[in-house]
Structure 1
Amino acid sequence: MWPSLRRAARSKNVGHVFPICSGSMDSKLTGRGLSDSGCQVLSQLLPLGYPESLFPIFRRFCAESTDRLTNSKFCDELRGHEAADQPDDNFDCNDEPSHGNGTIEASKKPNATKPSISGSWSSNMDHSAALKSRHRSRRPFLFQAVLDAPSHSIGSMLDRWLGDSNQLERNEVLLVLFHLKKQRLYWKALQFVEWMEGRNLLNFEERDYACHLDLIARNSGIENAQKYIARVPKPFRNDILYETLLVNCVCVSDIQKAEKVFREIRNLSLPLTVSACNQMILLYKRVARNKVADILMLMEKENIKPSPFTYKLLIDLKGRANDMSGIELILNDMKASGVEPDFATRTMVVEFYISGGLTEKAEAVISEMEMEYIKDKRHAIRSLLHLNAALSKPGEVARIWKLCTDPNLEDFMAAIEAWGKLGCIKQAEETFEAMLETTKKVSSRYYNAMLSVYAENKLMAKGKEFVERMSSDGCPDGPLTWEALIKLYVNSGEVEKADSFLLSVTEQNPDRRPTYGSYIYLLRAYAEKGDIHNAEKIFDGLKMVGYPGRKPPYAVLLEAYANAKVRPYGFRERMRADGVHPVKKVIDHLKFLDKLYLKGALQN
C-alpha cells in the first residue's frame, strides 16, 4: 500500500521538515477521525466536501439526527462547505475544495427533545423539577434571544434571560452554538462561550477549551489563539486542543504556523493522529504539493493507517494533475486496504474522468452508483443529476428526475441547476414552477438558483424580468442575489455595469458585505481583459472587506498583468507581506513576465 501511495506524491526525506525532539515518541496512537465537515477553506471542488477538515472538537455533531443532536457528548461542528452557510464564501480563486456546512435542521421548538444534562455544560442554578416544568412552556428560545440581541449587549441580555427563572441546559447550549456557527456568527458564539465561562456556568473540559480556542482563532487570529493555550490548564493541553489550532492554521493556509504546531504536537509527545496528518496533506496539497510525500512517509513510519479522507485528498491531488492512472492506483490501494470508496469519492472520481475526457469510464462508474445508491439514498439523485448534466446527457437527466417521485426543495434545486448547465431553460423554468406549487413560500436561495441559470446562459432580459418577479413575490435580495446579478452582467459582457452594481450595493448595505465570489467574478473579468487598473481596484476592495480564512487572490490579479504583458514590480514582496505562498501557476506567470522584461531590456 505505502509504496504506491508514495508514488502518488514524490518521495522526499522527512527529517528536514519535521525534526523530532529528543525523548520518547512511544505515545499510543489514536485514530480519532473528524466528522463529515469542512473548514472554511473553503473551493472548486470536491463534490460533496471533505469529511475530516473541521476542527476536532465538533466531531460527530452534524452526523447526528436532530433527536440525537441534543444528546451528543461533545460540542461538534456542522458540516461544510463549504454549503448552506454562504454567502461569504463558496468560491475560491485558487480552486480549492469547498467545505460547506451540513444540512441538519435542528428543531426550533425548545421542548422537542429533553436530554439529560451533561455535567460540564449544566447550569449552576438549583431549580426544582416543578419549577423547571412551570417555566419551560413560557421561556423564550435561547438561540433566538442571542440572535436578536445586539452584538454589544449579548452579555447583559443573557444575564436577564438567566435571571428570568430560566435554566441553562446543555441541549440549548449545543443548539445555540450550532445555529450561530451555521450562520457564521462566530463573534456572538465567542461572546456566548465567554459569558458562560465568566459566570461559572460551565465546568470546562478538553473539548470546551478547544471550542473556545477555535472561536478565538476565527475572530482574533492564530496569534491570540496561541496565547490562549497558555491559559488552559496543563491537563487539558492535549492533542484535541493542538489539532484545533492546527486546523485553523490550515484554514488560512499559514504554512509556517501549521508546521510549527505540527512539530509541537510531536515535541510534546502528544498522540499523532491521522486527522493531524490529513490536515498537513490538505495544506500541502494547496501550497506545497512536493511535501505531501513527506507526510505519507511519516504516517508509514508511525504506523498510522490512511483514513478514507486521506485517500480522497490523494485522489483530488492526482485529479488536479490530470493523472488518471494515479487515481486508479489509489483506488486499488483503497480496495486492497479494505476501504470501499464511498459515494462522495466515486462522485469525485467521475468528475475527474469527465474533465480528463474518459467518458466511458465515467459512465461505467455512474451506472454502478445508480444501481447501488438510487433506491437507498436521496442525495444520490442530486449527484446523478449533476454528473449526467456534466456529461451533456439531457435524456439521462430527465430519466433520473422522473425517478424522484417525491422531491423536496433540495432535489428541485439540483434539477434546476442540472437543466441550467445543459442550457435547457424551458425545463429549468418548468421545474422551478413545479417547486413553487409544492410549497406556499420558498426562500430567496431557491430563487437565486433560477437567477443563476439565466446568468450562466447569458440571458440578460430573462434575468432582469426574474429579478422583478422576485421583488413582486416578496423575495428579499441579499449577497447571493447580488452575486447572481454580477455574474449575469459579467457573462453578458457588461463588466462595467457589474462593477457599478457592486459599488452601489456595498454603499447601500454597510452592514452586509457582498460574497467573496462577487469580487472574484469581477476580478477575473478584468484580468481576462488585461485591465490592470480595475483589477487592482477590485483586489484592494476585496482586501478591505476581509474574509476570514481567505488569503488575497494574487493568482487572479497576476493574470491581469500576464494578459497585459506588463511586469508586476514588487509582486513577490506584496505576496510575502500578506503571507501568501506562490502556487505553481503564479510562479510560471512571474517567470514569463520576467522573461518578457529581460527580452525587452536587451532589445532596447
Structure 2
Amino acid sequence: MMRSRLTNAPARLFSTAVVSAPKPAATRPSSDKGGGGGSGRDTLGRRLLSLTYAKRSAVITINKWKEEGHTVRKYELNRIVKELRKFKRYKHALEICEWMKVQEDIVLQQGDYAVHLDLISKVRGMSSAEKFFEDLPDKNKNRHACTSLLHTYVQNNESSKAEALMQKMSECGFLINTLPYNTMLSFYISNGQLDKVPQLIQDLKMNTSPDIFTYNLILTACLPQRDVETAEKTLLEIQKAEIEPDWVTYSTLTSLYIKNSLPEKAAATVKEMEKRIARKNRPAYSSLIGLHAKLGNLDEISRIWEKMKSSFVKMSDTEYACMISSLLKHEKSEEAMNLYEEWKSVSTSGNPRIPNLFLADYIKRDQMEEAENFYNKMVESDIKPCYTTWEILTWGYLKQKKSDKVLECFKKALGSVKKWIPEGRITKEVFRNLEEEGDIEAAEQLLVTIGKAGHLSTEIYNSLLRTYASANKMPLIIAERMEKDKIEMNDETKKLIELTSKMCVSEVPTCIS
C-alpha cells in the first residue's frame, strides 16, 4: 500500500484537503501528581486538578496563580495536561495548551502541537482539529502532528482520510516509527478489515521494526480467524527479535488456544501471562480471572481474587462484575450472591451492570419469577435500571410470550437512553413474537415507539404488515403513512399490501386514532 521513500519532502505537502475523501465523564483525581506539590501543599497542579466542573476556567486559575507572585513553568503545565488527559478532563487540558500557545516566554516543542491537536479533536470535533492542522506553520506539520491527525481520523472512523494521510506521510518520510502503523493496524482489526493487515505489516517492516504493541496486534488479528499457526510464528519472531512478551501477548495467545479447544497450550500460556502481571497492570487481573473461568479453573479464580484483595485497598465495579460473572458461568450462584451483597456494602456507585448479571442468569435458566423478584429488590436498593436491564427483561418476557410485558420493557429500554442505536436482533424478535400472535394493537404501539426514537424503516413497516396478515386483517392507509414517514416500499411491502387488501378491514388502532 505505502512504500516509503524516506524523502525530505516539504511539510507544505500536507493539507487536510489532500486527505479528504468520500466516506466509505471523568473520575476526579485524588492527588496532585501533575503540579509538583506534596501532600497538603497549595500548588498550581492541585488547583487545576480540583476544577471538577467543566465550566470553571483553567486560564483564570493560572492567571490568579501568577498574580499571587508564583512562577508558572512549562514542564509543570505539561505534567498537569498529562494528568488531566488521563482522567479525561479534556476541556481544562485544552485550555492550558491554548494558554501556553500565546505566552511569549514559553517555547512549544513538536509534541506539544500534537497533544493540542488531539485535545481539539476530543473537545471540538474533527473539523476543528483539521483547521488547527491547516493553520500550523509548515515546519510544525511534522510527523508528530500528522500522527495525531491520523489518530483523529481513526477515532472518527474516517478510513479514506486515514489511508490518504498515511500515504502522504510515507511520501514525506514520516513513517519512521511504529505508532502510525499500530494506529492503522488497530483500526483495521477493530473494523474487521483483516485483509489489509498483511500489507501494512510488510510496509512497517520496510521502514522500521515492530515493537511489542505491533506483535500483540498481529496476535489479535489471528483471533477471529483462529489462526494458531501464524500466532505461534509471531511468538517465535518476538523471541528472535529479543523483545520481551508482556501479559497481553500471553493473554491473547490463551484466548486463541481456548477458541481452538487446545486446553493444554492455554494452561501453559495463562501461567506465562500471570508471571508478567505487576501491580501496575491492574486490568490484567480481571483478564486472568476471565480466562481461568473459560478454562474451568475455579480454584485459580478464587486464588487470584484473594490475591487482588490483598494487593488493592478496594475492588472496582469492573472487578466485581468479572468475578461474579465467572462464578455464575460455573453455576456458583450462592458464592456469586454473597459477593453481590459484599459489593452492595462497599460500593456507592449503584452500577446496574452488577445486578444485570443475575437478571441475565435467571432468564438464561428460564427462572422468570426469580428474575422479577430480584429486579424488585434491585430497585428497592436504589439501583436505577439502565437500557441493558430493560433489554434483558424484554428477552425474558419474549421467552414467555407475554406481549404486554415485552412492549412495556422495550418502551422503557428506548426511553432510558438519549439516543437509541437499534439492535436488530431484539427488534426483529419482538416483532416476530407479535406476528405469531397476530397482535395488531401491540405491533402498532411498537411502530409508534420506534418512530419516536427516529428509526422507522421499510423492514419495520413490513413487520407490521406481516402482523396484519397473520391476524387476517387489512391495515388502513398504510401507503399514506409510509409516505408521511418518508419510508420507501420494497417488493415485499407491495406484496404484503396486496395480500392484506383482500382481508377484512381492521379497526383503527388506538395508538394512531
Q: TM-score, normalised by structure 1?
A: 0.58
1:36-76 CA-partner distances (Å, limit 9, x unpaired): xxxxxxxxxxxxxxxxxxxxxxxxxxxxxxxxxxxxxxxxx
Q: Which amino acid aligns with 1:283?
A: F
Q: Distance in 1 between matches of 2:349 and 2:218?
A: 37
Confirm or deny: 8 A CA contact 1:523 1:538 kept in the other structure. Answer: no
Q: Is 2:197 aligned against 1:258?
A: no
- Which runs of no fewer than 5 residues in structure 1 stay unpaired? 1-13, 28-84, 87-102, 116-134, 472-476, 507-512, 544-556, 567-593
Q: Which amino acid aligns with 2:120?
A: I
Q: 1:529 to 1:393 in 2, by over 3 A?
A: farther
Q: 1:172 to 1:487 in 2, by over 3 A?
A: farther
Q: Distance in 2 between matches of 1:333 and 1:136?
A: 50
Confirm or deny: 8 A CA contact 2:431 2:463 kept in the other structure. Answer: yes
Corresponding residue of 2:326: 418
Confirm or deny: 8 A CA contact 1:312 1:345 kept in the other structure. Answer: yes
Q: Distance in 2 between matches of 1:218 and 1:196?
A: 19
Q: Which amino acid aligns with 1:390?
A: K
Q: Is 2:240 aligned against 1:332?
A: no
1:486-532 CA-partner distances (Å, limit 9, x unpaired): 454344346544443345445xxxxxx57xxxx45855421455679
Corresponding residue of 1:442: 347
Alignment map for 1:127-276 (pairs within 5 Å): 137=42, 141-144=46-49, 146-148=51-53, 150=55, 155=59, 159-160=63-64, 162-163=66-67, 167-170=71-74, 173-174=77-78, 176-178=80-82, 180-198=84-102, 202-276=106-180
Confirm or deny: 8 A CA contact 2:154 2:183 kept in the other structure. Answer: yes
Following TM superposition, by how much is the alpha carbon of 1:208 offset from its aligned partner in structure 2, in angstroms? 1.3
Corresponding residue of 1:91: none
Q: Is 2:338 aligned against 1:430?
A: yes
Q: Is 2:396 aligned against 1:492?
A: yes
RMSD: 4.6
Confirm or deny: 8 A CA contact 1:529 1:563 kept in the other structure. Answer: no
Could you say which structure has the higher helix fraction? Answer: 2
Following TM superposition, by how much is the alpha carbon of 1:407 offset from its aligned partner in structure 2, in angstroms? 5.1
Corresponding residue of 1:68: none
Following TM superposition, by how much is the alpha carbon of 1:258 offset from its aligned partner in structure 2, in angstroms? 0.6
Q: Is 2:383 aligned against 1:482?
A: no
Q: Distance in 2 between matches of 1:333 and 1:559?
A: 50
Q: Distance in 1 between matches of 2:464 and 2:240?
A: 51
Corresponding residue of 1:296: 201
Q: Which amino acid aligns with 2:412?
A: F
Q: Distance in 1 between matches of 2:155 and 2:280?
A: 34
Following TM superposition, by how much is the alpha carbon of 1:297 offset from its aligned partner in structure 2, in angstroms? 2.5
Q: Which amino acid aligns with 2:193?
A: A
1:441-460 CA-partner distances (Å, limit 9, x unpaired): 53417x44532322331434
Following TM superposition, by how much is the alpha carbon of 1:199 offset from its aligned partner in structure 2, in angstroms? 5.4
Corresponding residue of 1:468: 380
1:391 pairs with 273, 295, 305, which one? Answer: 295
Q: Which amino acid aligns with 1:469?
A: S
Confirm or deny: 8 A CA contact 2:32 2:45 kept in the other structure. Answer: no
Corresponding residue of 1:526: 427
Q: Is 2:6 aligned against 1:25?
A: yes
Identity fraction in percent: 21
Q: Distance in 2 between matches of 1:341 and 1:536?
A: 54
1:430-477 CA-partner distances (Å, limit 9, x unpaired): 22444566xxx53417x4453232233143421331232145xxxxx5
Q: Which amino acid aligns with 2:115?
A: C
Q: 1:201 to 1:386 in 2, by over 3 A?
A: farther
Q: 1:227 to 1:149 in 2, by over 3 A?
A: closer
2:213 pairs with 293, 309, 318, which one? Answer: 309
Q: Distance in 2 between matches of 1:220 and 1:541?
A: 26
Q: Distance in 2 between matches of 1:175 and 1:214?
A: 16
Q: Is 2:320 aligned against 1:320?
A: no
Alignment map for 1:92-107 (pairs within 5 Å): 107=30
Q: 1:168 to 1:470 in 2, by over 3 A?
A: farther
Q: Is 2:262 aligned against 1:353?
A: no
Q: Distance in 2 between matches of 1:350 and 1:392?
A: 13
Q: 1:354 to 1:209 in 2, by over 3 A?
A: same
Q: Which amino acid aligns with 2:264?
A: E
Q: Which amino acid aligns with 1:25?
A: L
Confirm or deny: 8 A CA contact 1:490 1:521 kept in the other structure. Answer: no
Q: Distance in 1 between matches of 2:380 and 2:320?
A: 22
Q: Distance in 2 between matches of 1:464 and 1:521?
A: 27
Following TM superposition, by how much is the alpha carbon of 1:427 offset from its aligned partner in structure 2, in angstroms? 1.1
Per the alignment, in what secondary structure is the counterpart of residue 301 of structure 1? helix
Following TM superposition, by how much is the alpha carbon of 1:228 offset from its aligned partner in structure 2, in angstroms? 1.6
Following TM superposition, by how much is the alpha carbon of 1:369 offset from its aligned partner in structure 2, in angstroms? 3.7
Confirm or deny: 8 A CA contact 2:54 2:91 kept in the other structure. Answer: no
Following TM superposition, by how much is the alpha carbon of 1:214 offset from its aligned partner in structure 2, in angstroms? 0.9
Q: Which amino acid aligns with 2:220?
A: D
Q: 1:336 to 1:488 in 2, by over 3 A?
A: same
Q: Which amino acid aligns with 1:468?
A: E
Q: Distance in 2 between matches of 1:396 and 1:416?
A: 14
Confirm or deny: 8 A CA contact 2:188 2:194 kept in the other structure. Answer: yes
1:174-214 CA-partner distances (Å, limit 9, x unpaired): 46534543454434433342244345574322111111111
Following TM superposition, by how much is the alpha carbon of 1:317 offset from its aligned partner in structure 2, in angstroms? 1.4
- Which runs of no fewer than 5 residues in structure 2 stay unpaired? 9-24, 364-370, 398-404, 433-442, 467-489, 500-513
Q: Distance in 1 between matches of 2:451 and 2:143?
A: 38
Q: 1:427 to 1:216 in 2, by over 3 A?
A: same
Name the larger-Rg structure: 2
Confirm or deny: 8 A CA contact 1:428 1:450 kept in the other structure. Answer: no
Following TM superposition, by how much is the alpha carbon of 1:169 offset from its aligned partner in structure 2, in angstroms? 4.6
Corresponding residue of 2:31: 108
Confirm or deny: 8 A CA contact 2:274 2:288 kept in the other structure. Answer: yes
Q: TM-score, normalised by structure 2?
A: 0.67
Following TM superposition, by how much is the alpha carbon of 1:254 offset from its aligned partner in structure 2, in angstroms? 1.2
Q: Specify which structure has the bigger relative contact order, considering alpha-carbon pairs within 8 angstroms and separated by 6 or more residues.
A: 1
Confirm or deny: 8 A CA contact 1:416 1:432 kept in the other structure. Answer: yes
Following TM superposition, by how much is the alpha carbon of 1:301 offset from its aligned partner in structure 2, in angstroms? 3.0
Confirm or deny: 8 A CA contact 2:94 2:120 kept in the other structure. Answer: yes
Following TM superposition, by how much is the alpha carbon of 1:219 offset from its aligned partner in structure 2, in angstroms? 3.3
Confirm or deny: 8 A CA contact 1:454 1:463 kept in the other structure. Answer: no
Q: 1:353 to 1:558 in 2, by over 3 A?
A: farther
